[in-house]
Amino acid sequence: MKKFILILTLAAMISTGGGIAYAFDVSDIIGVIGGGFLVETIADPLNDFINTVTLNRGVASEESTKVVPIVSVGQGTRIGAAQVSGPKSAIDNTKAVARIDAKFQNRFRIEILIPIDSLNPLERFRRVQGVGVSAVIDYKL
């Protein structure tokens, strides 16, 4: 039901403009929604794999972890995944990681990753304090 509401919210915001000056393509929306479902489907096995790799290398997290979608909006809409780590209550509140791209002095490309409490960064969201990004997952197309 939450996914259905998210889809309706996204569609409504896009069709009405939602007060946001981003340009969207229907394929972007389909990609984000499909990517979110893919991340949700494989989140637990990915999380277990990352925890096993870090344990085997002697750098396991002592905090709770889970894999959530990374959602970027701005210069093209993208979806990815990240493992977040922190206290269990904070991890339970983390729904996604927002990605903000920036440039510094026209020479440095900066990707800012912010654990957030919403699956939709177009709506109002809050940073989840005490949570960090411990791994970024890319999918080769």
Q: What's the CA angle centered on 70, arms 85 and 105, to 5 degrees?
A: 100
Residue-wise pLDDT tens digits, 42-90 = 999 999 999 999 999 999 999 999 999 998 766 555 678 999 999 999 9
Q: Which residue do the tokens 């229907």 mark?
A: 26
Residue-wise pLDDT tens digits, 84-139 = 999 999 999 999 999 888 999 999 999 999 999 988 777 778 999 999 999 999 87
Residues contacting 141, CB < 8 A, separation 6+: none
- What integer pLDDT is reported at residue 78 of this predicted model? 64
- What integer pLDDT is reported at residue 131 of this predicted model? 98
